[in-house]
Amino acid sequence: MPDHAQPTQKPAAADAEDAVRPRVPRRPVAAVLLDFHGTLAQVEDPLAWVTAAAASCGVSLERGRATVLADRLVTAGRAGGPPPARVPPGLAELWADRDLYEYAHRGAYTGLAETVDAGIDGLAEALYERVLAPEGWVPYPDVEAVLKELRGAGVKVAVVSNIGFDIRPFFAAWGLADLVDAYALSYEVGRCKPDPGIFLRACGLLGVDPEHALMVGDTPADAGAVHAGCAALVLPCADAGRRNGLGAVLDLALGG
């Protein structure tokens, strides 16, 4: 017996199979469709959210009280946060329509906040108003660089989001407005991801065939773009300020 195992030789038949196996052609990417929450930006830390909202109501919260209140409000349901632990029956209809109508989005989230007895007049509305402000969100670190790379390469960009309010002012405030070509927002389109209609609308706004579009998000709903004919990339969830792998878009879209 030899001291060392000899390398297994690849059968000639396998070489022949590799030679005739067709290569799957790589579809050129003419457009990138980007989810908003969890892909381009994340809501601010809950403690900062509650503290800022209370301050707008004229109340300065001690850190301990703010921490307890933030935990309770996140559990109740926060726009941009995890789903609520329970949706009261009286809010069920608004909750179901929250990403289709502005009034439903506001009503659902202010209603959930009002289930928490904070002892601060007007806090529920203040918390919601904070979500509508650019200061209430944190863009991921790679967003500007990735958008600039795509723009420089001539790749069109659309933001595709299940959301009940206009996020265009956010991109203007962050100096990114000129790097986005179109927005397909569920409350404007009347369709929510994973419905193929919202992805098709985004492609239509960009004038790009879905087969040449790449959808990038962080949930299975974003991957629903494949049913519209797009390719899809699902990124891992990351906290505000942490890198979330967005740079992988460049590898897929630009081939390098």
Q: Look at residue 179 and tell me if it is in a domain.
A: yes
Which residue, 107, 135, 163, sits at the end of a domain? 135
Residue 14 pLDDT more than 70?
A: no
Whether 99 has a pLDDT exceeding 60, the answer reads yes
**What pLDDT score was predicted for residue 231?**
95
Asked if residue 26 is part of any domain, the answer here is no
pLDDT score of 11: 53
Task: Assign residue 8 a region (left: φ > 0; alpha: ψ between -120 and 50; beta: otherwise).
Answer: beta
Residue-wise pLDDT for 108-143, tens only, equals: 999 999 999 999 999 999 999 999 999 999 999 999
Do residues 80 and 137 lie in contact, with contact meaning Cβ atoms separated by under 8 Å? Answer: yes
Question: Of 105, 135, 165, which residue is a domain's last?
Answer: 135
Q: Are 60 and 120 part of one and the same domain?
A: yes
Residues 60 and 85 in one domain: yes
- Tell me the mean pLDDT in the region 177-187: 98
Is 246 found in the same domain as 200? Answer: yes
User: Pairing mode, if any, of strands 41-43 and 213-217?
Assistant: unpaired
pLDDT at 12: 52
Flag whether 17 is in a domain.
no
Give pLDDT, residue 106.
98
The answer to whether residue 165 is domain-embedded is: yes
Which pTM value belongs to this model? 0.86
Residues 36, 156 within the same domain: yes
Q: What's the pLDDT at 26?
A: 61
The answer to whether the beta carbons of residues 101 and 164 sit under 8 Å apart is yes
**pLDDT at position 104:** 98
Is residue 100 domain-shared with residue 164, that is, in the same domain? Answer: no
Question: Tens digits of per-residue pLDDT, 37-66?
Answer: 999 999 999 999 999 999 999 999 999 999
Question: Which contacts of 144-150 are long-range, i.e. CB under 8 A and separated by 24 or more positions?
Answer: 144/174, 144/175, 144/176, 144/179, 145/247, 146/246, 146/247, 146/249, 146/250, 147/176, 147/179, 147/180, 148/179, 149/250, 149/254, 150/32, 150/179, 150/249, 150/250, 150/253, 150/254
Are 35 and 48 in a shared domain?
Answer: no
Helix or strand run (H / E) with residue 61: none
Asked if 130 and 167 sit in the same domain, the reply is: no
Residue 172 belongs to a domain: yes
- Section 3-19 average pLDDT: 49
Is residue 16 predicted with pLDDT exceeding 50? no
**12 located within any domain:** no
Q: Is the domain of 121 the same as that of 178?
A: no
- Do 145 and 239 lie in one domain? The reply is yes
- Residue range(s) defining the domain that contains residue 181: 31-40+140-254
pLDDT of amino acid 27: 73
Q: Same structural domain for residues 100 and 153?
A: no
Kindly state whether residues 250 and 144 are assigned to the same domain. Answer: yes
Q: Where are the alpha helices (DSSP H) in the chain?
A: 12-20, 46-56, 63-76, 92-96, 102-114, 123-131, 143-152, 168-173, 186-189, 196-206, 220-223, 248-254
Task: Please give the average per-residue pLDDT across 229-238, as a whole number.
Answer: 90
pLDDT at 256: 47
Instruction: Name the domain boundary from 135, 161, 182.
Output: 135
Confidence of residue 1 (pLDDT cuts 50, 70, 90): very low
Task: Tell me, yes or no, whether 145 and 241 share the same domain.
Answer: yes
Instruction: Indicate whether 11 belongs to any domain.
Output: no
Domain presence at residue 9 = no
Q: Is the peptide bond before 2 cis (omega within 30 degrees of 0)?
A: no
Q: Is the pLDDT of residue 15 over 60?
A: no
Does 76 have pLDDT greater than 60?
A: yes
Q: For residue 176, what is the domain's CATH number? A: 3.40.50.1000
Mean pLDDT of the chain: 90
Instruction: Give the model's pLDDT for residue 203.
Output: 98
Q: What is the mean pLDDT of residues 179-196?
A: 98
Counting the structural domains of the chain, the total is 2
Nearest CA to 38 among 192, 219, 194? 219
